[in-house]
Amino acid sequence: MTTIPLTQPIPNRKPRPRGRTLMWALIAAFIAVNLFPFLWVLVTSFKPGSEIYGAETAFRLIAINPTVGNYRTVIDKGILHSIVNSVIVSGSTTLYVVLVASMSAYIIARCFFRGKVALMSLILGISMFPQMIIVGPIFNMFYQLKLLNSYWVARAYSTITLPSAVWIMVAHFKRIPLSVEEAAKIDGCSQWQTLWKVIFPMAAPGVFTTAIMTFIAAWNEYLLTLTLNSVKDYQTVPVAINALRTQFSILWGEITAATIVVVIPTLAIVLLFQKQIVSGITSGAVKE
C-alpha cells in the first residue's frame, strides 16, 4: 500500500537567467544614454553663465550657485509670446491637415479608379522632397498674395505634414469593413452622414494619431517660419530659440531654459495621450 503525501514539496525557484539580466542592463544603459542630453539641458538651465564654461564648473551635475535668472531672461525676451504663436500655427495646421487628409484618405481607400497606385506613389514622393526645394516657390507665392508675416504660414506647413497624414489615414480607413457603410446606407444615411457619423468615429484612433503627429511636426518646424515670418511678432518657438545669441557668442543658459519651457507643452500632450497614440499606430498595422 502506497501512501500519498498530503503536502507537495515546494520546488526551488530557479535563479534568474543571466541573459535576462544582461538584457535589462542593456535596456537601462540605452535609456540612460538617451535621457542624458535632456538631463544635461535641465541642469544647464539652472547654471549661471560663469559656471557653464570652464574645466571645473562646466562638467558639474549640480550648479554651485543655481539660479532661475535664465528663465526670467527668456520670459522677458518674449518666449511666451512665441509659444502662443506656435500653438496658433500648429493648432490651425492640425485642424486643416486632419480635415483634408481624412476626406482624401477616405476617397483613396474606398473608391476604385485608375492610377490609385500612381497617386499614392506621388504622395509618398512629395513627402520626400527636401524643404529647401519648396521654400523658394512658397515664398514667391506668399509674397504675391501678401501673406508674409502672418499666421497664414500654417498653410505652408501643410505641404510637409499632409502627405504623411494621408498615408496614415488610408491605412486606418482600409481596416473598416465595407459592411458597416452598407448597413448605414440601408438605415437611410447619406454619404456625408455615413462619413461623419459612422466612419470617422470608427477611425478615431487613426485620426487622433494623425493629429498628434501633425501638431508635433508643425511645432518643431523651423525653415518655413524663418523664411516667411521675419517679423518678431509672428515668430514661432524654434526661431525664437535660434535668436538667443549675440554677435560673438551663444547664450547657452538662455537656450537651455527656453528649451525646457518649450518642451513642456508637447511633453504634456504626449504623456496625456500616449495610450491613444499607441492605439492609433498599432491599430493600422494589422490587416484584417
* Residue type at 27 in one-letter notation: I
pTM over 0.85: no
Q: What is the structure's pLDDT at 288?
A: 47
Residue at grid coordinates 491599430: 283
Q: What pLDDT score was predicted for residue 9?
A: 56
Residue 281 reports pLDDT greater than 70: no
How confident is the model over 139-153, as pLDDT tens digits?
Answer: 999 999 999 999 999
Q: Please tell me the predicted confidence (pLDDT) of residue 60.
A: 82
- Where helices occur in the chain by DSSP H, the ranges are 18-45, 49-52, 69-76, 79-110, 116-127, 131-144, 153-175, 178-186, 191-194, 200-202, 204-219, 223-228, 237-242, 252-272, 274-283
pLDDT at 140: 92
Cell of 95: 485642424
Neighbours of 139 (CB within 10 A): 15
The whole-number pLDDT of residue 86 equals 92
Reading the block at residue 177, the C-alpha cell is: 469593413
Across 16-45, average pLDDT: 87
State the chain's mean pLDDT as an integer.
Answer: 83
The count of C-alpha atoms lying within 13 angstroms of the C-alpha of 130, restricted to the half-sphere facing its C-beta, is 3
* CATH number, domain 72-283: 1.10.3720.10
Question: What is the predicted pLDDT for the residue at 52?
Answer: 85
Q: Are 139 and 227 in contact (CB under 8 A)?
A: yes
Q: Is 250 helix (H, G, I), strand (E, B) or coil?
A: strand
In whole angstroms, what is the distance from residue 140 CA to residue 132 CA?
A: 14
> Which ranges constitute the DSSP H helices of 128-244?
131-144, 153-175, 178-186, 191-194, 200-202, 204-219, 223-228, 237-242
- Encode pLDDT of 84-115 as tens digits: 999 999 999 999 999 999 888 888 888 888 88
Helix, coil or strand: residue 245: strand
